[in-house]
Amino acid sequence: VIAGSAELRDRAGTAALAPDPPAAARVVVLGIGNTLLTDEALGIQAVERFAAMYRVPDHVQLIDGGTSAMELLDVVADCELLIVVDALLANSTPGSVVRLAADAVPVFFRTKLSPHQVGLSDLLASLEFAGQSPRTTVILGIEPADMRLGLELTPIVEAHMPELVGMIAAELRGAGIDLAAGSTRM
Amino acid sequence: MSTRITIDPITRIEGHLRIDCEINNGKVTKAWSSGQMWRGVELILLGRDSRDAWTITQRICGVCTTVHAIASVRAVENALQLEVPVNAQYIRNLIILAHAVHDHIVHFYHLSALDWVDVTSALKADPDATARLGQSLSSWPGNDKEQMRAVKQRLAGFVGGGQLGIFTNGYWGHPAMKLPPEVNLLAVSHYLQALEVQRKANKIVSILGSKTPHIQNLAVGGVSNALATDSPSVLTVERLMAVKTWIDELADFVKNVYLVDVAAIGAFYADWTQYGAGVTNYLCVPDLPQDTKGTQFLLPGGHLPGRDFAAFKPITSFNDEYWRKGVEESVKHSWYDYVQKGPLHPYRGETNPKYTDFQEQGKYSWLKSPTFYGKSAQVGPLSRVLCELAAGHESTTRYATKTLELVSAIAKTKVGPAALHSTIGRHAARAISCATQVDLLENQWSALINNMSKGDLHTYNKPVFPKAEITGVGFHEAPRGALSHWVVIEDGKIKNYQCVVPSTWNACPRNEADEPGPYEASLLDNPVVDPGQPLEVLRTVHSFDPCIACAIHVTDPQSGSAIRVTAR
């Protein structure tokens, strides 16, 4: 009763068909950026690399958000912890690794350190009005060196990617989440 | 006395668009639409496996992900003359429709309603009177007193706490804001309900596309969804039943809330049926194919030159020659240089950047200027609805008639189809189109179930590439209008690739004959009460649902976020 080749069947996956875990317990790791613009891809690549190294519990969702906004409302709404991973324009040296939490998060969204948060900040503002904001939001990222058209990270950003992936793991462990060696389907 | 204003950027969402207007005696007398970022995604595709193009093109834009994926696989299939199993057509159609419904709801409530709805005025509304008003217009259960009281209280807390958030950039108290407080409160209440209901549309895309926001289930030759009537790991009847409940919830909201709100707001802003027509040369492509070859469609497409339905000329298949031969792009006013003499057909298209400054008479945009048989054309929901009316499409005719009757009843004056050629008419057309789309979601869901129950679970035909050079065009009637991807393939590899996207048709600069594009033409004669607060200009441009991340690509990290208006 299966149509198509085994390879196609595998690619279709089943991740999207799994029932939603209870909203209150959900943790979302959201990589955002445009994967066609060199270092703009670093947030998504970091989440993908993390997914290839760790197996996370079912209530933790690893999401490639691209440059979407309202399409992400369903996963972001009412989550316990939101970890945004993104290229951060913090006027520091390219390759600098940045972590923003607590009061720095709303400042980040107001001052537009990321090129695509016009969408994400509107999404979070809508959630705030609807009373469905994530309980805690943390932002992890690296200052990009090049955002022109291109499919590979620059060497200077590439050199700091293991550190960024390690920060995602530390953030989750700090929230009491068990990480096992292995991999997670995104 | 002449005033010149520049609005940059003009959208709340991705993509940088700048609009310049010359204003004389309170009216726009000249307008320029300029894409402010370089377009170049075509270059990244050269030399790649044509089967992978769709995964790259759907990364062009975060708002229109699925549409580029669909157009891309169709282009390669068209080059191969590869047939697509009907199950794959149905699944693609369901994704197309769910995405479109999502996009239209979000555009109206979350991206453009604030051009018409004064949120601060809603605080003066009587919630009980608001509930009575809502219940007089619609049977929607979410219009009760408790709901309206709760929304007013939430809004008061939000505004009182200084957290204007998403409402920060609104033009509150602007003299062009005309809605009574109760209509404003009703709209704010539906803004919140729309936030919830749009999630259902997204869930449909996510289940069928195996992932969201970037679908993973497409393949040149079909889809990779495995269909089954008994296995838990694939698209089962049980999963499809969940999709059906979401379709029903969306249909209820679109017909009983969205369509009604647009009619009510339109009735209060009846003066806006006089502004914003612009280019009335309308273009729309047929979509929702029902056969393997793409010769039968649920939604008709065609070319409507002017307002005369008798002049309508249909586009009838994926191989339609009238469509294929009519499209060209000019760069006379764009920051590109053609080696060949222009304008050029997309198969021969070139992407060589040549930046000058903003030159009013010369080059001033990163968008090219597409034409259909030498003329600029408007695309989008208004073109779609007018072409469907011209083709005698049943449900579009029914919803258009119903909407105009409702507008007439609320406005207490007869409002006919001519009102659609306008700024507010574009919003009405989008809602009419959306009502047809939710009905078709149900239709295509049933078609898929029926076909599966006959035992046909086929979803994919393997492509085989010849050594020779082949060309193909994939078109798709996307939420913002006619989208086409044009590809030249040699031995399976991409030799040339051009995307002619809806916002390029609408937001383009002047064409080879120096005629303004649809945004530019639509702004002429628009009133502007206060050049420092050009709400009226935003109304007309936003009515097109501008999203030009796909028309132009590279982000400028240094640009600010707030709308900057420069008057001089």
Predicted confidence (pLDDT) per residue in B274-285, tens digit: 999 999 999 999
Q: Is the peptide bond before B85 cis (omega within 30 degrees of 0)?
A: no
- Asked if B481 and B505 count as a contact pair (C-beta separation under 8 A), the reply is yes
- Looking at per-residue pLDDT, the higher value among B335 and B16 belongs to B335
Residue B557 confidence (pLDDT) above 50: no
Instruction: Say which amino acid occupies B267.
Output: A
C-alpha B386/C-alpha B418 separation (Å) is 10
Confidence of residue B163 (pLDDT cuts 50, 70, 90): low
Contacts of A116 in chain B (CB under 8 A): 14, 62, 555
Decide if B102 touches A, using CB distance below 8 A.
yes
For residues A30-43, give the mean pLDDT. 90
Decide if B211 touches A, using CB distance below 8 A.
yes
What is this structure's pTM?
0.91
Residue B327 confidence (pLDDT) above 90: yes
Question: What would the pLDDT profile of B513-539 be if each residue is shown by its tens digit?
Answer: 999 999 999 999 999 998 888 899 989
Residue B457 confidence (pLDDT) above 80: yes
Angstrom distances, CA of residue B303 to CA of A6, B334, B375, B507:
43, 25, 12, 19
For residues A19-40, give the mean pLDDT. 79
pLDDT of residue B552: 34
Residue A82 confidence (pLDDT) above 90: yes
Decide if B60 touches A, using CB distance below 8 A.
yes
- Looking at per-residue pLDDT, the higher value among A106 and B523 belongs to B523
**In terms of CA atoms, which chain A residue is nearest residue B219?**
A8
CB spacing of A70 vs B217 below 8 angstroms: no
Question: What would the pLDDT profile of B413-436 be if each residue is shown by its tens digit?
Answer: 999 999 999 999 999 999 999 999
For residues B427-453, give the mean pLDDT. 96
C-alpha B362/C-alpha A26 separation (Å) is 54
Question: What would the pLDDT profile of B46-100 be if each residue is shown by its tens digit?
Answer: 999 999 999 999 887 766 789 999 999 999 999 999 999 999 999 999 999 999 9
Nearest-CA distance from B11 to chain A in Å?
Answer: 9
Confidence of residue B351 (pLDDT cuts 50, 70, 90): confident
Mutate one of B104, B191, B554 to test the A interface: name it (highest A CB count within 10 A): B554
Residue A82: partners with Cβ closer than 8 Å, 6 or more residues away: A27, A28, A30, A76, A134, A136, A137, A138
Residue A3: partners with Cβ closer than 8 Å, 6 or more residues away: B87, B226, B227, B457, B458, B459, B460
C-alpha B427/C-alpha B433 separation (Å) is 10
Residue closest to B210 by CA, chosen among A68, A77, A71, A9 = A9
- Asked if B212 and B200 count as a contact pair (C-beta separation under 8 A), the reply is no
| Catalytic (active-site) positions of B | 14, 61, 64, 68, 480, 503, 547, 550
The percentage of residues in chain B with a pLDDT greater than 70, rounded to a whole number, is 91
For residues B169-184, give the mean pLDDT. 88
Question: What would the pLDDT profile of A126-141 be if each residue is shown by its tens digit?
Answer: 888 888 999 999 999 9
Mutate one of A67, A78, A133 to test the B interface: name it (highest B CB count within 10 A): A67
C-alpha A28/C-alpha B314 separation (Å) is 47
For residues A134-163, give the mean pLDDT. 93
Q: Which residue among B209, B214, B224 places its CB closest to the CB of A64? A: B214
Mutate one of B46, B214, B250, B461 to test the A interface: name it (highest A CB count within 10 A): B214
pLDDT of residue B560: 34
- CA distance from start to end of chain B: 11
Weakest mean pLDDT among B36-45, B47-56, B200-209, B335-344? B36-45
pLDDT of residue B38: 63
Residue B553 confidence (pLDDT) above 50: no
For residues B482-509, give the mean pLDDT. 95
For residues B344-373, give the mean pLDDT. 92
CB spacing of A34 vs B555 below 8 angstroms: yes
- Asked if B359 and B273 count as a contact pair (C-beta separation under 8 A), the reply is no
Residue B361 confidence (pLDDT) above 80: yes
**In terms of CA atoms, which chain B residue is nearest residue A33?**
B62
Q: Print the SS3 string covering B56-80.
A: HHCCCCCCCHHHHHHHHHHHHHHHH
**In terms of CA atoms, which chain A residue is nearest residue B12?**
A118
Contacts of A48 in chain B (CB under 8 A): none
- Asked if A101 and A48 count as a contact pair (C-beta separation under 8 A), the reply is no
C-alpha B347/C-alpha B487 separation (Å) is 7
Angstrom distances, CA of residue A94 to CA of A42, A84, A158:
12, 19, 11
Confidence of residue B167 (pLDDT cuts 50, 70, 90): low
Nearest-CA distance from A125 to chain B in Å?
Answer: 5
Cα A121-A122-A127 angle, rounded to 5 deg = 95
Show the tokens assigned to B45: 């595709």
Cβ neighbours around B514 below 10 Å, total: 11
Nearest-CA distance from A8 to chain B in Å?
Answer: 5
